[in-house]
A and B are shown apart, each in its own frame.
Chain A
Amino acid sequence: MNILHLRDNRQRGLHWSKPRARPIETLPVPDTLYIPISHWQQTTAELLVTTGSTLYKGQPLTRSYNHNVIITHASSSGEVIDISDNRIAIKTDGRDEVSDELTKTTDSLSRQEITDIAHRNGLTGQGGAGFPLARKIASLPQQPQLLLVNAAECDPDIHCDDALIQAYAPLVVESVLTIAEACEIDRVVIGIENDKTRSIEQLQQAMARQTARQNIELVTIPSQYPSGAENILLQLCTSEQPGPHESLASAGILSMNIATCYAMGQAVFNGMPPISRITTVVTPDGRHRNFKLLTGTPVNHILDYVAYERPIASIEQEVPLHVTQGGRMMSEALDTQAVITQQSNCITISNTKGVQSSVPCIRCGACSDICPVRLMPQHLHKAATHFDAQQLDNLNVDRCIECRCCDVVCPSAIPLTAQFIQAKEHKHRQNNEQIAADLAKQRYDKRQRRLQKERSGKRRTSLKEKAAPATPQSRKDLIAQALKRSAKKKPNDAADNGSSH
């Protein structure tokens, strides 16, 4: 019973003291890599390789003109052995030969050029959501105000960004400046937790070398979960608050994870697409290690390697291991087929599933006190249990950022966040159904009106026909009538066009 650990700061959230990030290690290249192929709705990237093609490191595998489709690259040299719907299997040759078709850039870039580079290299947000960077830059308004670089990784288990900054601060800073210049953004802010002293030092040194260029503000924020969430970081760094329903990009704020900036730097200065990333691996004994992993590395390869170095007790005892992507707070279960992608910031290996049985809510209010977006989870819980859509709306369920702080502090161990996610989906589904039903009703009403019109119209014409039986007209008469009609119409048309211009 660790009673005195939760602190109540002005910015609400959970506080952990984190160990310093361990240095980056590398794994041997796995025998087989599985590179995922991106889909976006019905659009699939066009394949550039076939089974048996020889590949070099960094060579593009797909092509697309759609910014939503992410172009993927070979992360090591080898041969394509299998192509399925959603991934390309590459048998590596272990030589790790780099493609000689990589294009480096040294000139200053325009916004169009940097968007192209982002698209061509298949850059995506590396913080977790994986939003295509090209689309994000393209959706910025003409005069963007702020480049917000997110160097805060608030989850207590994730250390990859810390490790990245300590190793590559100069490249990161140069890349940040290049992006800002290309997008013509005057204000650049890097938000980082105040306990990452080593990283802050490295960044300051790197910035000192770039004084000739634009000024970067380095803002330190309290080390607290979930201050790495985009909107919360924005508020902490600039005390601006984003609108409720607009994306940051459309509000003129380009928010990028620091790892994405690094990947951008690699793409611009070295021409190397993002074929690897730094991932924190949390082993069952609770320690963390940082690895530079190739995209498409099977998770099992990491398990084998980590287990080989320090035998994991549960492998011998044949207790199933649970592998999740993400840290302690936001995570999703991975299956045995899973591979490392650009979004894999953390892989957690554990031998317990950690499911607690919950007891009823005692309305203690701990959840309301911790909620970083100031919701009232206990009332939401009640509303979600009975699915009271009106009440859920009143309590702003849509503003929940799913950070799981309330789950952690709940003395009754109620899976609140899961419940809210479910409620949100349910609400969304109900909304869609309502919209569909409304449309169907409109369609039906229109059809009814049309049918009625047709019926009454028919009756009228039939009456007319009875009253005045059509007299056969000669062709000449008809033509003359048509000419008269068009002559009448023309001046009107001209007037219409004129007024509309």
Chain B
Amino acid sequence: MNTPTERSVSDVMLLVLLALLPGFCVFLYLTGWGGVINCMIAIVTALIAEAVAVRLRHGSVRITLTDYSAVVTAILLALCLPPLLPWWIVSLATLFAILLAKQVYGGLGQNLFNPAMAGYALVLISYPLDLSTWLTLPEGFSMSLSDALSIVFSGGLSQSEQYDALTGATALSRLYDLNLQSVDLAQLAPEISGTFGARYSEWLNLAFLIGGLALVFLKVITWHLPVALIAGVATCDLLIGGPYPDLTFHLFGGATMLCAFFIITDPVSAPAGNRARLIFGFFTGLLIYLIRSFGSYPDSAAFAVLLMNCCVPMLDRLDNHINSRPTR
């Protein structure tokens, strides 16, 4: 029998997880045990939180956990967090994402905001120091697991004695710092740029781009959202971009590709119609560029996405309105 077998929600989520795999590997290479521990804490917290919430809402725990949406949220969240955070920050972000950003709205499919981004934004605002403390990249598992665990469970990297020895700036945060000191950017290009994008995170972005293209090819997501986001960033860069950093720095720096292919393509918190998707993606791209360049945070994907999430009901209505006009 050759039925076009329908993909279930869990199939979709598994495909997303598979597509995240290349990016995930690069992420682990860059962050070492810190990244692994973050992921583990996030996944475990997400599953427990989801199970408890569904239990309280008298739903079926088995069905809810096997749709894997909580795992996807946890991994997306962990991919944004710097390694060797104190364990409770990761847990807090995950709990917020699952409980307050998703389950209180009515669970899967009902949430207005992207859960992973909501969780990330919460801890980014609450713990700016911890969240901007990155290991010197790439870490590549040079620290032993026991050392990493002891840092995670004793207050995190920012409280660690080896703070100065271990930490370094990401390309975007370095760019941000330099911006504040109003140094001539072009002189410092070698410090923050890599082969074609931002230093180190270019590889991460490339890996997400590959995984994302696979999702488009498998028709898990449509091309509209990523293309519109990239167009948004590019438009901004053309209009207001200085000589440096250039477009590839923005596209292959920070969380741009993760955002374009995995964050805003979350169907629940994105608009439904393709027309509305184009608008949504474009303005997210615009906001990413603007907040990065002129805002007070080095990277901005989470805020851009959350701000645009607010507009989704309006975009949907607009789209409905256009579509429901008689076709003749």
Contacts and interface: CB of A to CB of B under 8 A. Distances in A.
A241 B2 CA distance: 32
B9 interface: yes
A281 interface: no
A395 interface: yes
B169 interface: no
A2 B9 contact: no
A16 interface: yes
A363 B11 contact: no
Chain A facing B: main interface SS: loop
A2 B11 CA distance: 10
A376 B320 contact: yes
Contacts of B219: 6, 8
Provide the main secondary structure of the chain B interface: loop
Contacts, number: 95
Of A244, A359, A361, the most chain B CB neighbours within 10 A belong to A359
B324 interface: yes
A156 B11 contact: no
B107 A360 contact: yes
B272 interface: yes
Contact of B5 (A5, A156, A363, A364): A5
Interface of A: 1-6, 8, 14-17, 156, 241, 244, 286, 328, 357, 359-365, 368, 374, 376, 378-379, 394-396, 408-413
A405 to B, nearest CB: 10
A394 B15 CA distance: 35
B1 A411 contact: no
Nearest to A393: B324
Given A411-B8, A411-B11, A363 B267 contact: yes
8 contacts: A2-B5, A5-B5, A360-B108, A360-B109, A363-B268, A365-B273, A395-B320, A411-B9
Nearest to A14: B4
B1 A286 contact: yes
B218 interface: yes
The 7 closest A-B pairs by CB, nearest first: A2-B5, A360-B109, A5-B4, A364-B267, A394-B324, A411-B9, A362-B109
Interface string B45-80: 000000000000000000110010100000000000
A15 B268 CA distance: 27
A411 B68 CA distance: 13
Interface residues of B, number: 36
Nearest to B269: A363
A413 B1 CA distance: 20
B326 interface: yes
Nearest to B7: A411
* Most-contacted residue by chain B among A14, A362, A409, A410 (CB, 10 A): A362
A5 B109 contact: no
Nearest to A407: B6
A374 to B, nearest CB: 7
A362 B326 CA distance: 27
A14 B327 CA distance: 22
Interface string B316-328: 1000100110111
B63 A359 contact: yes
Nearest to B265: A364
B4 A408 contact: yes
Contacts of B154: none
A15 B2 CA distance: 10
Contact of A364 (B2, B12, B107): B12
Contacts of B316: 379
A407 to B, nearest CB: 8
A244 B325 CA distance: 13
Given A4-B218, A6-B219, A244-B326, A156 B3 contact: yes
B2 A16 contact: yes
B136 interface: no
Interface string B113-148: 000000000000000000000000000000000000
Contacts of A413: 6, 8
A38 to B, nearest CB: 36
B110 interface: yes
A362 B5 contact: no
Contact of B7 (A3, A14, A368): A3
A365 B267 contact: yes
Contact of B4 (A16, A286, A364): A16
Contact of A359 (B7, B67, B218, B267): B67
A374 B327 contact: yes
A422 B324 CA distance: 21
Given A3-B15, A16-B3, A241-B328, 20 more contacts: A1-B7, A3-B218, A5-B2, A6-B219, A17-B2, A244-B326, A357-B63, A359-B64, A360-B108, A362-B108, A362-B268, A363-B109, A363-B268, A368-B272, A368-B273, A376-B320, A376-B323, A396-B324, A411-B11, A413-B6
